[in-house]
Structure 1
Amino acid sequence: MAIEAGRSEPRFAPVILAGGSGTRFWPRSRRAKAKQVLALDGERTMIQQTVGRLLPLADPAEFLVITNELLRAAIAEQLPEIPGTRILSEPVARNTAPACGLAAFLVAKTDPDAVIGVFPSDHVVSDTKRFAEVVRAGAALAATGDRIVVLGVPPTRPETGYGYIERGAVVDASTVPYRGIEVRRVRRFTEKPNCELAKAFVAEGSYAWNSGIFLWKARTLMEALREHCPAMAPLLEKIAEAYGTPEFERVFAEVYPQCESISIDYAVLEPRSVKGEVGAEIYCLPADFGWNDLGCWSALHEHVAGDCGPEELSKKNIFDKTDQPCIDIDSKGNYVYAPGKTVALVGVSDLVVVETGDALLITTRERSQDVGKVVAELKQAGREDLV
């Protein structure tokens, strides 16, 4: 990325959101070993991959990882390059707005004009060079004013599991500090539409999937929270004031649960976008770097299958990390995870079969988004040993 003459790259602080439990990847993903600390598509875990592609962009001491107490030790072990004081355990889950907001108030203690990048811990990216280019461009744009930058994924299908960004006019390249990456205004955000609406969005051509990656100055996010979440902002400010003191853990535990549980999309992005294309300083850059959020078993089937079209994918059986000879007879489109087992598929299609030491999942690729309901059933039945 070329920065405009006389401008240096802004201070950049990546914030990794790693507090989820990954219920749709049950039975491999559990509360104490959620999908972000699992190696689902290679030797490195999801969070190791996330941090690895961001390390060229920021010093390890600038990172903030926000997780929970069950995962903190595993994450600290997997990320030795990140200082332990930069890995925070939420006392309770409160969705993404309090986590992002706390990061803003913490970063602002030393530099309110530093740019924060919010990154979920469970994405995969195939083109890390392009990823770095787009993130640098987004950070440069966010640094130039009261601007919020989102990364939008070019949609390949009418997916109902993602939020959508309606993109507006292309921004004049002379007004933004980068070259060669298209920037558009954001008109509005739509959360997880039904199938018919998703089809209309993809056909219309101006919509992108919401990647969940956002960039803004610490000051910008703080002021947005003060405007749209006036009860939450002073709570987060109080926690940030205690950071680095002996009182931090106590204050964090007492105050954070008082925050509203709300996503950053609902708390800030949607209220800001209602101002429309003219007044809402929200911009979208293309996440054209081979993005996948690996949200469920069918997404992992697609990812492991590699670069193939829908027709080829529908025929492909994936025996993932299964180190014994496997057999498929008149079977297609299945995903199997059963390490150490010989698996035989006979006359079946589009199944997901996942075996661990204490559980067996059998579903269809089409219903793999519903696997989280199994975890809810287990909790209701008191089977804490399985969640």
Structure 2
Amino acid sequence: MKVVIMAGGKGLRFWPRSVEERPKQFLALTSRDSMLQMTYNRFRKNIDAADIYVVARSSYITLIREQLPYLDPSRLIIEPDQRDTGPCIALTARFFLQQGIDDVLVTAPSDQYIPDDKALMKALLEAERLAGKEKSIVTLGIVPTRPETGYGYIRAASESIAGQAQRVLKFVEKPNEQRARELLLEPDTYWNSGIFIWKPSTIDYYMKLYQRDLWNKLWLSEEPLETVYATLPKLSVDYAILEKATTVFTIPVHFVWDDIGSWTAMERVFPKDEQGNIIFGDVYPLHINNSIVYAEEQKVIAIGVEDLIIVSTKDGLLVCRKSEEQHIKMAMDMISAAKSSD
């Protein structure tokens, strides 16, 4: 089994600490190590270094080499540009198939919080056996603990096959609050972890079936990869393959897991003070409640506020109601559009 760590995201919802030049996977958010280092070390405890790869856009290669100096350059898969997880997974499969390698792959995000590496490995070994079968895709489904609107969900058949695995019936898009509460009560419903286990030949099969134009461009074009890759559509692998495939399974897991995708995720990792706050840096709070305040390189005074996210870094200032944090990415898209029009 080989592991491919996907480290090409921009982490916009963690702005202004996470910026495009140094996104969240390269930041120390939950420990002294960066999220990328934590992810690599988690797998390295159980898997040989020769079987761990990192895929990321070319602009992040320097950061990766700084943080993982022991990573063999031949274990680095370079995306010429960021085109979402669909093209990223396709490029990864092409990388292995061109070398005649068809071992089971674990494709995993670089920014997840999973403190129990033994439980993770146990689930992956079970998934490996199932993913080794022709055309089988296996996911890890997280047993939900709250009505979460920031994750996609998996609906599975009630009966188990091949151990813990259940056949996936449907992938559910990120729900609204009401639907999330309903999903929490529905049996055999899990959070989509974004960790997928499959063979390169399986990816090849489904790409040819559902994304033939994308796949043919990667394999058949005579133009340089950099030119071809820029023309690929921005598709998530969920939309490109998973939502359409018929032989998909999930293994329910109960270990602590968090997609560190936004500022409120910090509340699930760090303890709150008596007023329900989480404070980082040189912060002077007075009469504040249920807030997250982060200060970097300057003092921050917060007085009489509640349910806010306040983040101050050299790259900007964020003041946001916690209930509105899903709009941070929208605001960043507005900034990008404004820059493009200048």
TM-score, normalising length from structure 2?
0.91
Instruction: Give yes or no for contact 1:114–1:218 (8 Å, CA) kept in 2.
Output: yes
| Structure 2: distance between partners of 1:102 and 1:379 | 26
Partner of residue 8, structure 1: none
For residues 71-104 of structure 1, give each alpha carbon's deviation from its aligned partner in whole angstroms, at most 9, with x where no partner exists: 2110121112222233233222211111111211
2:278 pairs with one of 318, 340, 354? 318
Partner of residue 196, structure 1: 178
Give the superposition deviation at 1:49. 0.9
1:268 pairs with one of 241, 261, 286? 241
What is the correspondence of 1:218-367 to structure 2 with a 5 Å cutoff? Answer: 218-238=200-220, 251-272=224-245, 280-305=246-271, 315-320=275-280, 322=281, 324=282, 326-339=283-296, 341=298, 343-367=300-324
Could you tell which deviates more after superposition, 69-78 or 85-94? 85-94
Alignment coverage as a number of residue pairs: 341
| Structure 1: distance between partners of 2:299 and 2:101 | 57
SS of the aligned residue for 1:271 comes to coil
Instruction: Give yes or no for contact 1:154–1:208 (8 Å, CA) kept in 2.
Output: yes
Instruction: Give yes or no for contact 1:53–1:132 (8 Å, CA) kept in 2.
Output: no
Instruction: Give yes or no for contact 1:95–1:261 (8 Å, CA) kept in 2.
Output: yes
Partner of residue 194, structure 2: 212
The two structures, once aligned, show a CA RMSD in angstroms of: 2.4
Q: Which runs of 5+ in 1 are unaligned?
A: 1-11, 243-249, 273-279, 306-311
Instruction: Give yes or no for contact 1:21–1:34 (8 Å, CA) kept in 2.
Output: yes
For residues 229-264 of structure 1, give each alpha carbon's deviation from its aligned partner in whole angstroms, at most 9, with x where no partner exists: 11122233358xx9xxxxxxx732122223232111
**Equivalent AA in structure 1 for residue 279 of structure 2:** F
Please state which structure has a larger fraction of its residues in strand: 2
| Structure 1: distance between partners of 2:297 and 2:7 | 30
Could you tell which deviates more after superposition, 109-118 or 359-368? 109-118
| Structure 1: distance between partners of 2:243 and 2:314 | 43
Larger Rg computed on CA atoms? 1
| Structure 2: distance between partners of 1:295 and 1:313 | 22
Give the superposition deviation at 1:342. 5.1
Percent identity at matched positions? 33
Partner of residue 184, structure 1: 166
Q: Which runs of 5+ in 2 are unaligned?
A: none
Partner of residue 96, structure 1: 85
Instruction: Give yes or no for contact 2:211–2:240 (8 Å, CA) kept in 1.
Output: yes
| Structure 2: distance between partners of 1:28 and 1:383 | 22
* Match status 1:373 vs 2:334: no
| Structure 2: distance between partners of 1:195 and 1:21 | 26
Instruction: Give yes or no for contact 1:298–1:366 (8 Å, CA) kept in 2.
Output: no
| Structure 2: distance between partners of 1:31 and 1:195 | 30
| Pair 330,48 (structure 1): closer, same or farther in 2 beyond 3 Å | same
Instruction: Give yes or no for contact 1:102–1:237 (8 Å, CA) kept in 2.
Output: no
| Structure 2: distance between partners of 1:34 and 1:56 | 25
| Structure 1: distance between partners of 2:286 and 2:66 | 43
| Structure 2: distance between partners of 1:136 and 1:382 | 46
Instruction: Give yes or no for contact 2:43–2:117 (8 Å, CA) kept in 1.
Output: no
| Pair 113,91 (structure 1): closer, same or farther in 2 beyond 3 Å | closer
| Pair 218,381 (structure 1): closer, same or farther in 2 beyond 3 Å | closer
Instruction: Give yes or no for contact 1:168–1:186 (8 Å, CA) kept in 2.
Output: yes
| Pair 29,355 (structure 1): closer, same or farther in 2 beyond 3 Å | same
**Equivalent AA in structure 2 for residue 66 of structure 1:** V
| Pair 91,346 (structure 1): closer, same or farther in 2 beyond 3 Å | same
**Equivalent AA in structure 2 for residue 83 of structure 1:** D
SS of the aligned residue for 1:66 comes to strand
| Structure 1: distance between partners of 2:295 and 2:289 | 17
SS of the aligned residue for 2:102 comes to coil
**Equivalent AA in structure 1 for residue 287 of structure 2:** D
Give the superposition deviation at 1:69. 2.5
Give the superposition deviation at 1:314. 9.8
Give the superposition deviation at 1:218. 1.3
| Structure 2: distance between partners of 1:379 and 1:94 | 16
Give the superposition deviation at 1:111. 4.5
| Pair 125,58 (structure 1): closer, same or farther in 2 beyond 3 Å | same
SS of the aligned residue for 1:331 comes to coil
Give the superposition deviation at 1:372. 1.8
